Chain A
């Protein structure tokens, strides 16, 4: 079936370094790609999203890039801080039964060490 693969499953960086998380998707019709951050004991929170008509989007220290030909997209966090430590999920839209739905990756646990 349709799926989204996310790598790595865990990522450990030093404060100030950059972190990159990559996702690949299988449905070429997918056109919406959100990224969520989940802190311990809380629900996922949208941090950035991108649609298929653009290749890159930035919001302060966070950026997302999309390569539709290769069917992959990536989250880039620069100048990481300890509060960036969380689990990050990517997702891709999928049309099923006449409706778009989101398929989520398995998540990446990011640890930022002071």
Chain B
């Protein structure tokens, strides 16, 4: 497996609370991504990063923000969690470009009550 860890692996929180998920890589890859996975929807891109401090929105970015202050860390923040954000969140990395192989982390299961 590529050197990707996600923390926490499981989290239960209440509506309205802020939540931060962390993705850490040891591969020194330039590109990092956050996806959410929901039944019937496959994987949908939330935000991505193409370098330190360089981030942009994906297709389902509303209610999420990201930060990347170091090559190895990419943080996903839910400013005020809602029940619709209950999902499994995956981080992915790739080396040279979007169309290069993306390697996925183990995922974080988030439940918003």
Contacts and interface: CB of A to CB of B under 8 A. Distances in A.
Given A97-B56, A99-B50, A101-B58, A46 B43 contact: no
Q: Is the interface of A mostly helix, strand, loop or mixed?
A: strand
B33 to A, nearest CB: 8
Contacts of B44: 104
Given A42-B107, A101-B48, A89 B98 contact: no
Given A43-B90, A44-B90, A106-B40, A101 B104 contact: no
Interface string A18-46: 00000000000001101010000111111
B80 to A, nearest CB: 27
Contacts, number: 56
B101 interface: yes
Interface in A41-91: 41-46, 49, 89, 91
Q: How large is the interface on B (under 10, 10 to 19, 20 to 34, 35 or more residues)?
A: 20 to 34
Interface residues of A, number: 26
Given A101-B48, A101-B58, A102-B98, A46 B103 contact: yes
Contact of A46 (B4, B97, B101, B105): B101
Interface string B1-33: 100100000000000000000000000000000
A93 to B, nearest CB: 5
A101 B98 contact: yes
B42 A89 contact: yes
Given A49-B101, A89-B42, A99-B48, 7 more contacts: A36-B104, A44-B90, A99-B50, A99-B56, A99-B98, A102-B45, A106-B40
19 contacts: A32-B99, A34-B101, A36-B104, A41-B107, A42-B106, A43-B90, A43-B104, A44-B90, A45-B1, A45-B104, A89-B42, A99-B48, A101-B45, A102-B45, A102-B98, A102-B99, A104-B42, A104-B43, A106-B40
